[in-house]
A = this chain, B = another copy of it.
Amino acid sequence: MMISRVAKSHGLIRLLKKPCDGCLRSPLFLRFPADGFSTFRSYSLTRSRFMSTDPMVGEEARNGGVTMLPAVEDKYGGVMTEMTRPMDPSAFSALLRSSLSNWTLQGKKGVWIKLPRQLIGLAETAVKEGFWFHHAEKNYLMLVYWIPKQDHTLPSNASHRVGIAAFVLNHKKEVIVVQEKTGRFKGQGIWKFPTGVVNEGEYIHDGSVREVKEETGVDTEFVQVLAFRQTHKAFFEKSDLFFVCMMKPLSLEINAQESEIEAAQWMPWEEYNKQPFVQNHELLRYMTDICSAKTNGDYEGFTPLPVSAPDLQGNLYFNNRDLSSRQ
């Protein structure tokens, strides 16, 4: 349907003669992981002459000489256009149809439109052309369209939030605990591990060190992931992965974060364990059993190791004791 619709507009708007494919500039724009285990297609984008950050685009648009939306290409035969300037919806509609017509003729597949919040008024036009939403962040909405007749092979949206709890034990077998100013345990006198959310682009071990520092002022070194928990509907339909992390303190003085933390202290591990809040909670009992086992040297979790591949950098978390012992 889309193809026939854009074909109709084909004759009305002058099409760009030189396809985007022929005018690459920079070999890498975004980097996506791809390795033997991954289903996620690598997405090294190449810049086209119509790249939105190119100052020429604005000039050409003002001169009325542009009949295509500015776009960068991806490795999978798709294109992405990022809108940066206000535009009359009818002008956007004409440009979008012209561009779709040309991309269809070029055999392009996925078409991405990144709309900054201030230009959200253009979204309706894209939806009318058959675009749907892929994801959104605070300041933009990403729309997507699939030209081929076959089922799309676009990447899924992010499905999980990642959190950590930090088990920080000092040489006196005391653990760092906090009382939070907000949340469901506020004002109940419950002492809990420092917890937090791992940001996108942040490693679990870096996020753990950051959260302990922010909430308590204590410097730590990441030791290992002792366990993780998966739950669903963490917010709306999204799921949650929550990692219990063993940390080694590098400093002892506590300075509780004013904005979020009511109180923070070192507490004897046995005292933490005795809290009814811990004893009456199946999950917490498992967690504390695991932490106790780790404290006694009876338990091995997953240790991170930086690994790289030509197209990828990451951290592999695994049972290093078991793997090392056999080598």
A197 contacts B by Cβ under 8 Å: yes
Stretch at the interface among A17-25, A58-66, A229-237: A229-237
> CA A195 – CA B140 in complex, angstroms?
31
Q: Which of B39, B141, B308 contacts A141 (CB 8 A)?
A: B141
> CA A38 – CA B287 in complex, angstroms?
12
Q: Is the CB of A230 within 8 A of B283?
A: no
Which B residues touch A37, using CB under 8 A? 165, 192-193, 195, 229, 242, 244, 283-284, 287
Which B residues touch A160, using CB under 8 A? 158-162, 200, 241
Q: Which of B123, B204, B277 contacts A230 (CB 8 A)?
A: B204
Give the number of chain A interface residues (Cβ < 8 Å). 117
Q: Which of B139, B238, B317 contacts A200 (CB 8 A)?
A: B238
- State how many copies of this chain the complex holds: 2
Interface flags, A298-309, vs B, CB<8A=1, else 0: 111110110111
Q: Is the CB of B309 within 8 A of A281?
A: yes
Task: Contacts A142-B236, A204-B230 given; indicate if A34 touches B184 (C-beta within 8 A).
Answer: yes
A9 contacts B by Cβ under 8 Å: no
> CA A179 – CA B197 in complex, angstroms?
37
Q: Which of B40, B140, B300, B304 contacts A234 (CB 8 A)?
A: B40
> CA A42 – CA B136 in complex, angstroms?
23
Q: Is the CB of A161 within 8 A of B156?
A: yes
Q: Sorted from nearest, which 8 A-B pairs have the closest CB atoms?
A: A136-B136, A231-B314, A159-B200, A227-B318, A158-B158, A37-B165, A133-B136, A121-B124
Binding site for B on A (CB under 8 A): 30-43, 75, 117-118, 120-121, 123-124, 127, 132-142, 151, 153, 155-163, 165, 180, 182-185, 190, 192-193, 195-204, 226-242, 244, 259, 277-278, 281-284, 286-287, 289-290, 293, 296, 298-302, 304-305, 307-309, 312-319, 322-323, 325-327
